Chains A and B, each alone.
Chain A
């Protein structure tokens, strides 16, 4: 049943996000072409047009990220907490399948959007006339310096840790929205307002734990002489701690969301 939920969720979200990616591709193409034309012809109108295209390009880059995040959160609210919930919660599926269907789709589209925005940014840089002369040599120098500090094996483990951190952070971020919405809507009145309050409370709570945990954790690590050793070791230790905290946060918000949808569902 999860695969069927995923299929319909991709259909529901793809109809908005796919045109957005087309728009991003078009604005990137226009930006790249406009930048090159401007080198040959220096008209005021063209300069103004170039500024406008750059603005639209920046807007679509930022817009892609904002729309993806907003759409994923809105889908959870709209599909489960409004009238549509009468259909979704009477399907022969479990609460955990309902949560995972939204979560997996949110992670996939977030990754696609991130890659699309990165690709658009990279394309915009690579097609600049100054790319070959100024930017590329600078990047080569940075890359060389990076590899002189760390080995290939370390780079791979850093990359894996970064990807795990990104994955669990994204999971935790979406689940924090879901938990706040589910909890807010489990009350008979002021559902939207309470959802916002829960989200703010979660954010403040996490910040507090992170601040105190970070300060005390780093102090304890320093006392044990962690930072006097190999930098690669303490960077690994810090990033693995980050991965563990992100995973724990995601698990807590998942349990809260699942429990609320199972035991405190209160569709009006």
Chain B
């Protein structure tokens, strides 16, 4: 059974169509790249999967359930913005995640924080933007979730941090779980992807395994992406 499934999922913002009858599946144990240019509907899809938006038509299910308290115990979500209260310090954030998520591994989180030399007493408001993003990623990846939905986890960070983030994702996720990484920086994530979904103007253009693309199209995912999304000259 698919871990996440969309059937004819449609979402409008006013009169603008953000998702157009999207059908897709995410199988367990896969790292999936949700790839598309800016404004293609990636964030909208992930927000619907987390119950932050309600679709106009169609259905999205996670482990057979529509988004709600039941699916939120299964999903660990990294949004494209900082959602942490700026008055809280790192210890208070760890307490918060421990309280609400039984699958939160505090030891793993503390280990990663120590590796990055982030003080437990540091408040969010005292951190740089990059440090906030690292703390948020550590909190999200320290859960033993069934599905990780990561929205632009490497956007806007330096190459060294980018490497650290990808390493963190690969080494921390449970092998039975799935990871969906939404990004337009294909070259950086290509090496870790099992499957790819190309999305453009709210429509799924392609869903395939990364190996199949390399074998059948005889090119990398990044090259295919550039080919599919090339603007008319």
Task: List residues of chain A with CB under 8 Å of any chain B CB.
Answer: 1, 4, 7-8, 11-12, 15, 79, 83-87, 89-94, 188, 263-267
B72 touches A90 (CB 8 A): yes
Q: Kindly state the separation between the CA atoms of A261 and B72 in the bound complex, as whole angstroms.
A: 16
Given contacts A85-B52, A89-B52, A92-B100, 5 further A-B contacts (CB under 8 A): A8-B99, A85-B83, A90-B51, A94-B68, A265-B52
Specify which chain A residues have a CB less than 8 angstroms from the CB of B47 in the assembled complex: 267
Q: Is B50 an interface residue (CB 8 A)?
A: yes
Q: 19 pairs across A/B with beta carbons < 8 Å? A: A1-B100, A4-B100, A7-B99, A8-B96, A8-B99, A12-B87, A85-B52, A86-B77, A86-B83, A87-B84, A90-B51, A90-B75, A93-B69, A94-B69, A188-B13, A188-B14, A264-B54, A265-B53, A266-B53
Specify which chain B residues have a CB less than 8 angstroms from the CB of A83 in the assembled complex: 79, 81-83
Contacts A8-B99, A188-B13, A188-B14; is A84 near B54 (CB within 8 Å)? no
A12 touches B85 (CB 8 A): yes
Chain A nearest CB, measured from B96 CB (Å): 6
Which of B79, B84, B100 is close to A91, meaning CB atoms less than 8 Å apart?
B100
B101 touches A90 (CB 8 A): no
B51 touches A92 (CB 8 A): no
Q: Kindly state the separation between the CA atoms of A93 and B54 in the bound complex, as whole angstroms.
A: 17
Q: Kindly state the separation between the CA atoms of A249 and B114 in the bound complex, as whole angstroms.
A: 52
Which of A4, A79, A86, A265 is close to B54, meaning CB atoms less than 8 Å apart?
A265
B73 touches A92 (CB 8 A): yes
Query: Lowest 9 A-B CB distances belong to which pairs?
Result: A86-B83, A87-B83, A92-B72, A92-B73, A86-B79, A4-B99, A267-B52, A92-B69, A91-B100
Specify which chain B residues have a CB less than 8 angstroms from the CB of A86 in the assembled complex: 52, 77, 79, 81, 83
Q: Kindly state the separation between the CA atoms of A92 and B101 in the bound complex, as whole angstroms.
A: 8
Specify which chain A residues have a CB less than 8 angstroms from the CB of B87 in the assembled complex: 12, 15
Q: Kindly state the separation between the CA atoms of A188 and B69 in the bound complex, as whole angstroms.
A: 25
Taking residues whose C-beta sits less than 8 angstroms from the other chain, chain B's interface range is: 20 to 34
Which of A84, A92, A94 is close to B83, meaning CB atoms less than 8 Å apart?
A84
Question: Could you tell me which residues of chain B, from 52 to 78, have a CB within 8 Å of some CB in chain A?
Answer: 52-54, 68-70, 72-73, 75, 77
Q: Kindly state the separation between the CA atoms of A90 and B75 in the bound complex, as whole angstroms.
A: 9
- Residue-wise interface mask of B (88-104) relative to A, using a CB-CB cutoff of 8 A (1 in contact, 0 not): 00001000100111000
Chain B nearest CB, measured from A60 CB (Å): 23
Looking across the interface, which residue of chain A has its beta carbon closest to that of B79? A86
Looking across the interface, which residue of chain A has its beta carbon closest to that of B88? A12
Chain B nearest CB, measured from A5 CB (Å): 9
A89 touches B100 (CB 8 A): no
Chain A nearest CB, measured from B121 CB (Å): 15
Specify which chain B residues have a CB less than 8 angstroms from the CB of A90 in the assembled complex: 50-52, 72, 75, 77
Looking across the interface, which residue of chain A has its beta carbon closest to that of B86? A84
Q: Kindly state the separation between the CA atoms of A15 and B52 in the bound complex, as whole angstroms.
A: 29
Q: Which of B70, B85, B92 has the most CB of A within 10 A?
A: B85
Q: Which of A4, A7, A86 has the most CB of B within 10 A?
A: A86
Chain A nearest CB, measured from B132 CB (Å): 11
Chain A nearest CB, measured from B55 CB (Å): 11
Looking across the interface, which residue of chain B has its beta carbon closest to that of A264? B54
Q: Which of B47, B50, B79, B100 has the most CB of A within 10 A?
A: B100
Looking across the interface, which residue of chain B has its beta carbon closest to that of A263? B54
Specify which chain A residues have a CB less than 8 angstroms from the CB of B68 in the assembled complex: 94
Looking across the interface, which residue of chain B has its beta carbon closest to that of A86? B83
Chain A nearest CB, measured from B183 CB (Å): 18
Specify which chain B residues have a CB less than 8 angstroms from the CB of A12 in the assembled complex: 85, 87
Specify which chain B residues have a CB less than 8 angstroms from the CB of A92 in the assembled complex: 69-70, 72-73, 100-101
Chain B nearest CB, measured from A263 CB (Å): 6
Looking across the interface, which residue of chain A has its beta carbon closest to that of B101? A92
Q: Kindly state the separation between the CA atoms of A94 and B51 in the bound complex, as whole angstroms.
A: 11
- Residue-wise interface mask of B (1-39) relative to A, using a CB-CB cutoff of 8 A (1 in contact, 0 not): 000000000000110000000000000000000000000
Q: Kindly state the separation between the CA atoms of A90 and B148 in the bound complex, as whole angstroms.
A: 12
Looking across the interface, which residue of chain B has its beta carbon closest to that of A262? B54
Q: Kindly state the separation between the CA atoms of A93 and B69 in the bound complex, as whole angstroms.
A: 5
Looking across the interface, which residue of chain A has its beta carbon closest to that of B84? A87
Specify which chain B residues have a CB less than 8 angstroms from the CB of A7 in the assembled complex: 99
Q: Kindly state the separation between the CA atoms of A90 and B52 in the bound complex, as whole angstroms.
A: 8
Looking across the interface, which residue of chain A has its beta carbon closest to that of B80? A86
Q: Kindly state the separation between the CA atoms of A87 and B13 in the bound complex, as whole angstroms.
A: 22
